[in-house]
Protein backbone atom coordinates (compact mmCIF):
# COMPACT_ATOMS: atom_id res chain seq x y z
CA UNK A 1 0.00 0.00 0.00
CA UNK A 2 2.45 2.63 -1.25
CA UNK A 3 -0.10 5.46 -1.16
CA UNK A 4 -1.91 4.70 2.07
CA UNK A 5 -3.45 7.87 3.49
CA UNK A 6 -2.72 9.96 0.41
CA UNK A 7 -5.25 12.00 -1.59
CA UNK A 8 -4.75 12.04 -5.34
CA UNK A 9 -6.34 14.02 -8.16
CA UNK A 10 -6.21 12.45 -11.63
CA UNK A 11 -7.39 14.76 -14.40
CA UNK A 12 -9.02 13.02 -17.33
CA UNK A 13 -9.43 10.00 -15.08
CA UNK A 14 -12.52 8.52 -16.69
CA UNK A 15 -10.82 6.53 -19.44
CA UNK A 16 -7.56 5.34 -20.97
CA UNK A 17 -4.35 6.11 -19.13
CA UNK A 18 -6.15 8.24 -16.54
CA UNK A 19 -8.49 5.40 -15.66
CA UNK A 20 -5.57 2.99 -15.23
CA UNK A 21 -3.78 5.50 -12.99
CA UNK A 22 -6.87 6.09 -10.84
CA UNK A 23 -7.44 2.37 -10.32
CA UNK A 24 -3.76 1.74 -9.58
CA UNK A 25 -3.63 4.52 -6.99
CA UNK A 26 -6.76 3.19 -5.30
CA UNK A 27 -5.27 -0.31 -5.09
CA UNK A 28 -2.27 1.25 -3.34
CA UNK A 29 -4.46 2.89 -0.69
CA UNK A 30 -5.00 6.41 -2.02
CA UNK A 31 -8.28 8.29 -1.92
CA UNK A 32 -8.74 9.13 -5.59
CA UNK A 33 -10.50 12.05 -7.25
CA UNK A 34 -11.53 11.09 -10.78
CA UNK A 35 -11.79 14.30 -12.78
CA UNK A 36 -13.84 14.50 -15.97
CA UNK A 37 -15.45 17.09 -18.25
CA UNK A 38 -18.19 15.35 -20.22
CA UNK A 39 -17.72 11.63 -19.50
CA UNK A 40 -19.82 11.56 -16.32
CA UNK A 41 -21.07 8.02 -16.92
CA UNK A 42 -17.56 6.69 -17.52
CA UNK A 43 -16.21 8.52 -14.46
CA UNK A 44 -19.01 7.08 -12.37
CA UNK A 45 -18.11 3.58 -13.52
CA UNK A 46 -14.48 4.10 -12.53
CA UNK A 47 -15.52 5.29 -9.08
CA UNK A 48 -17.95 2.41 -8.70
CA UNK A 49 -15.31 -0.11 -9.72
CA UNK A 50 -12.81 1.29 -7.24
CA UNK A 51 -15.34 1.18 -4.41
CA UNK A 52 -16.40 -2.37 -5.22
CA UNK A 53 -12.75 -3.39 -5.02
CA UNK A 54 -12.54 -1.90 -1.53
CA UNK A 55 -10.97 1.42 -2.49
CA UNK A 56 -12.01 5.03 -2.00
CA UNK A 57 -12.90 7.39 -4.85
CA UNK A 58 -15.08 10.31 -5.82
CA UNK A 59 -15.62 12.07 -9.14
CA UNK A 60 -15.52 15.82 -9.76
CA UNK A 61 -16.47 17.54 -12.99
CA UNK A 62 -14.15 20.37 -14.04
CA UNK A 63 -12.81 21.73 -17.30
CA UNK A 64 -9.20 22.24 -16.22
CA UNK A 65 -8.54 24.60 -19.12
CA UNK A 66 -10.73 27.07 -17.24
CA UNK A 67 -8.84 28.62 -14.36
CA UNK A 68 -11.82 28.92 -12.02
CA UNK A 69 -12.86 25.32 -12.62
CA UNK A 70 -9.35 23.99 -11.99
CA UNK A 71 -9.29 25.88 -8.70
CA UNK A 72 -12.73 24.53 -7.83
CA UNK A 73 -11.46 20.99 -8.49
CA UNK A 74 -8.70 21.46 -5.94
CA UNK A 75 -10.87 23.34 -3.46
CA UNK A 76 -13.60 20.69 -3.60
CA UNK A 77 -11.01 17.95 -3.08
CA UNK A 78 -9.70 19.67 0.04
CA UNK A 79 -13.27 20.27 1.26
CA UNK A 80 -14.26 16.62 0.87
CA UNK A 81 -10.98 14.80 1.59
CA UNK A 82 -8.97 17.26 3.65
CA UNK A 83 -5.82 17.64 1.57
CA UNK A 84 -4.11 17.10 -1.79
CA UNK A 85 -0.96 14.99 -1.84
CA UNK A 86 -0.81 13.96 -5.49
CA UNK A 87 -1.75 15.61 -8.76
CA UNK A 88 -1.57 13.82 -12.10
CA UNK A 89 -2.14 16.08 -15.09
CA UNK A 90 -3.36 13.49 -17.56
CA UNK A 91 -6.24 15.25 -19.38
CA UNK A 92 -5.37 15.98 -22.98
CA UNK A 93 -6.60 16.17 -26.55
CA UNK A 94 -5.03 15.50 -29.95
CA UNK A 95 -6.11 17.38 -33.08
CA UNK A 96 -4.32 16.70 -36.34
CA UNK A 97 -3.05 19.56 -38.46
CA UNK A 98 0.11 20.71 -40.21
CA UNK A 99 1.80 24.11 -39.98
CA UNK A 100 -0.12 25.03 -43.13
CA UNK A 101 -3.62 23.98 -42.18
CA UNK A 102 -3.92 24.09 -38.38
CA UNK A 103 -6.66 26.54 -37.53
CA UNK A 104 -6.36 29.15 -34.82
CA UNK A 105 -9.30 27.53 -33.04
CA UNK A 106 -7.62 24.09 -33.03
CA UNK A 107 -4.34 25.60 -31.85
CA UNK A 108 -5.99 27.51 -29.01
CA UNK A 109 -8.08 24.54 -27.90
CA UNK A 110 -5.07 22.22 -27.85
CA UNK A 111 -2.94 24.67 -25.88
CA UNK A 112 -5.76 25.41 -23.45
CA UNK A 113 -6.33 21.75 -22.59
CA UNK A 114 -2.81 20.29 -22.91
CA UNK A 115 -0.76 23.17 -21.53
CA UNK A 116 -2.91 25.73 -19.74
CA UNK A 117 -4.87 22.97 -17.98
CA UNK A 118 -1.80 21.48 -16.28
CA UNK A 119 -0.62 24.99 -15.36
CA UNK A 120 -3.98 25.83 -13.80
CA UNK A 121 -4.01 22.61 -11.78
CA UNK A 122 -0.35 22.82 -10.76
CA UNK A 123 -0.81 26.33 -9.47
CA UNK A 124 -3.97 25.55 -7.51
CA UNK A 125 -2.72 22.24 -6.10
CA UNK A 126 0.81 23.56 -5.63
CA UNK A 127 -0.40 26.25 -3.27
CA UNK A 128 -2.11 23.63 -1.11
CA UNK A 129 0.91 21.32 -1.24
CA UNK A 130 3.30 24.15 -0.32
CA UNK A 131 1.37 24.78 2.89
CA UNK A 132 1.50 21.04 3.64
CA UNK A 133 5.23 20.87 2.91
CA UNK A 134 4.65 17.83 0.73
CA UNK A 135 3.37 16.97 -2.72
CA UNK A 136 3.84 14.90 -5.85
CA UNK A 137 2.98 16.21 -9.31
CA UNK A 138 3.25 14.14 -12.48
CA UNK A 139 2.52 15.54 -15.93
CA UNK A 140 1.64 13.11 -18.71
CA UNK A 141 3.31 14.31 -21.90
CA UNK A 142 4.28 12.17 -24.91
CA UNK A 143 7.29 11.19 -26.96
CA UNK A 144 5.66 13.54 -29.47
CA UNK A 145 6.94 16.32 -27.22
CA UNK A 146 10.47 15.02 -27.77
CA UNK A 147 10.22 14.84 -31.54
CA UNK A 148 9.02 11.24 -31.72
CA UNK A 149 6.02 11.87 -33.95
CA UNK A 150 5.13 11.97 -37.63
CA UNK A 151 4.14 15.20 -39.33
CA UNK A 152 0.62 16.52 -39.10
CA UNK A 153 0.43 16.93 -35.32
CA UNK A 154 1.77 20.45 -34.94
CA UNK A 155 -0.33 21.76 -32.06
CA UNK A 156 -0.29 18.47 -30.16
CA UNK A 157 3.50 18.09 -30.38
CA UNK A 158 4.09 21.72 -29.43
CA UNK A 159 1.80 21.45 -26.40
CA UNK A 160 3.48 18.28 -25.17
CA UNK A 161 6.93 19.80 -25.62
CA UNK A 162 5.77 22.80 -23.61
CA UNK A 163 4.50 20.51 -20.86
CA UNK A 164 7.92 18.87 -20.59
CA UNK A 165 9.65 22.23 -20.22
CA UNK A 166 7.02 23.44 -17.75
CA UNK A 167 7.68 20.33 -15.66
CA UNK A 168 11.37 21.15 -15.40
CA UNK A 169 10.81 24.78 -14.42
CA UNK A 170 8.03 23.90 -11.96
CA UNK A 171 10.34 21.43 -10.23
CA UNK A 172 12.77 24.29 -9.56
CA UNK A 173 9.98 26.52 -8.25
CA UNK A 174 8.37 23.93 -6.00
CA UNK A 175 11.24 21.82 -4.71
CA UNK A 176 11.82 24.15 -1.76
CA UNK A 177 8.33 23.24 -0.52
CA UNK A 178 8.94 19.50 -0.57
CA UNK A 179 7.09 19.02 -3.86
CA UNK A 180 8.42 16.67 -6.54
CA UNK A 181 7.45 17.48 -10.12
CA UNK A 182 8.11 14.94 -12.86
CA UNK A 183 6.87 13.96 -16.29
CA UNK A 184 6.06 10.74 -18.11
CA UNK A 185 6.37 10.62 -21.89
CA UNK A 186 4.45 7.58 -23.16
CA UNK A 187 5.09 6.02 -26.51
CA UNK A 188 2.25 4.67 -28.63
CA UNK A 189 -0.30 3.38 -26.13
CA UNK A 190 -3.70 1.86 -26.88
CA UNK A 191 -6.32 4.34 -25.64
CA UNK A 192 -9.64 5.79 -26.76
CA UNK A 193 -7.69 8.67 -28.29
CA UNK A 194 -5.69 6.45 -30.66
CA UNK A 195 -8.79 4.43 -31.58
CA UNK A 196 -10.56 7.65 -32.49
CA UNK A 197 -7.57 8.75 -34.56
CA UNK A 198 -7.41 5.37 -36.32
CA UNK A 199 -11.07 5.55 -37.26
CA UNK A 200 -11.76 1.81 -37.19
CA UNK A 201 -10.76 -1.37 -35.38
CA UNK A 202 -9.19 -2.72 -38.57
CA UNK A 203 -7.02 0.36 -39.02
CA UNK A 204 -6.11 0.23 -35.33
CA UNK A 205 -4.82 -3.34 -35.72
CA UNK A 206 -2.74 -2.27 -38.70
CA UNK A 207 -1.22 0.65 -36.80
CA UNK A 208 -0.55 -1.52 -33.74
CA UNK A 209 1.42 -3.94 -35.88
CA UNK A 210 3.54 -1.14 -37.30
CA UNK A 211 4.13 0.52 -33.93
CA UNK A 212 4.98 -2.81 -32.26
CA UNK A 213 7.66 -3.31 -34.89
CA UNK A 214 9.21 0.02 -33.96
CA UNK A 215 9.69 -0.98 -30.31
CA UNK A 216 12.55 -3.17 -29.16
CA UNK A 217 10.11 -4.86 -26.78
CA UNK A 218 8.03 -5.91 -29.79
CA UNK A 219 4.71 -4.56 -28.53
CA UNK A 220 2.70 -1.38 -28.08
CA UNK A 221 1.90 0.22 -24.76
CA UNK A 222 -0.98 -0.59 -22.45
CA UNK A 223 -2.41 2.08 -20.10
CA UNK A 224 -1.23 0.01 -17.16
CA UNK A 225 2.37 0.32 -18.40
CA UNK A 226 2.12 4.07 -17.96
CA UNK A 227 0.21 3.85 -14.69
CA UNK A 228 3.05 1.79 -13.21
CA UNK A 229 5.59 4.51 -14.01
CA UNK A 230 3.34 7.21 -12.56
CA UNK A 231 2.87 5.15 -9.39
CA UNK A 232 6.63 5.04 -8.90
CA UNK A 233 6.93 8.81 -9.37
CA UNK A 234 4.23 9.61 -6.79
CA UNK A 235 5.46 7.09 -4.23
CA UNK A 236 8.08 7.84 -1.59
CA UNK A 237 10.46 5.56 -3.50
CA UNK A 238 11.10 8.47 -5.87
CA UNK A 239 11.60 11.13 -3.18
CA UNK A 240 14.97 12.22 -4.65
CA UNK A 241 13.73 12.47 -8.24
CA UNK A 242 12.39 15.76 -9.58
CA UNK A 243 12.39 17.66 -12.86
CA UNK A 244 12.78 14.47 -14.86
CA UNK A 245 11.11 13.08 -17.97
CA UNK A 246 10.66 9.31 -17.96
CA UNK A 247 10.16 7.88 -21.45
CA UNK A 248 7.93 4.78 -21.49
CA UNK A 249 7.84 3.67 -25.11
CA UNK A 250 8.99 0.05 -25.13
CA UNK A 251 12.43 1.07 -26.38
CA UNK A 252 11.50 2.75 -29.65
CA UNK A 253 14.25 1.82 -32.12
CA UNK A 254 13.64 4.94 -34.18
CA UNK A 255 14.03 7.30 -31.19
CA UNK A 256 16.44 5.60 -28.79
CA UNK A 257 18.05 8.95 -27.95
CA UNK A 258 14.94 9.75 -25.93
CA UNK A 259 15.23 6.75 -23.63
The CA distance from 132 to 183, in Å, is 22
Task: Report, in this order, helix, strand and coil percent for the chain, each rounded to 5.
Answer: 55, 15, 30
The CA distance from 236 to 232, in Å, is 8
Using CA atoms, how far residue 109 sits from 27, 32, 222, in Å, is 34, 27, 27
Residue 89: Cβ within 10 Å count:
30
Residue 209: Cβ within 10 Å count:
10
Is 156 a residue of the active site? yes
CA proximity to 13, closest of 31, 49, 52, 39: 39
Using CA atoms, how far residue 117 sits from 6, 55, 70, in Å, is 23, 27, 8
The CA distance from 4 to 6, in Å, is 6
Among 36, 134, 156, 177, which one carries the catalytic annotation? 156
CA proximity to 27, closest of 51, 7, 55, 5: 55
User: 221 forms bridges with which residues in the sheet?
Assistant: 189
Residues forming the active site: 156
Amino acid sequence: MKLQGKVAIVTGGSRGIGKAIAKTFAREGAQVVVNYVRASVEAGKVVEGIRKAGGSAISIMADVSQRDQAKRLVDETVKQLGRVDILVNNAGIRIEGTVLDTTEEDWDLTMNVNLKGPFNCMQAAGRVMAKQGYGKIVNVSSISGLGGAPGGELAYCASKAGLINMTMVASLDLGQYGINVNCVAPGWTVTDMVLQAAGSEKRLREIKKVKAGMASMGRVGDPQDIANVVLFLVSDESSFISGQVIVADGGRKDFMSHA
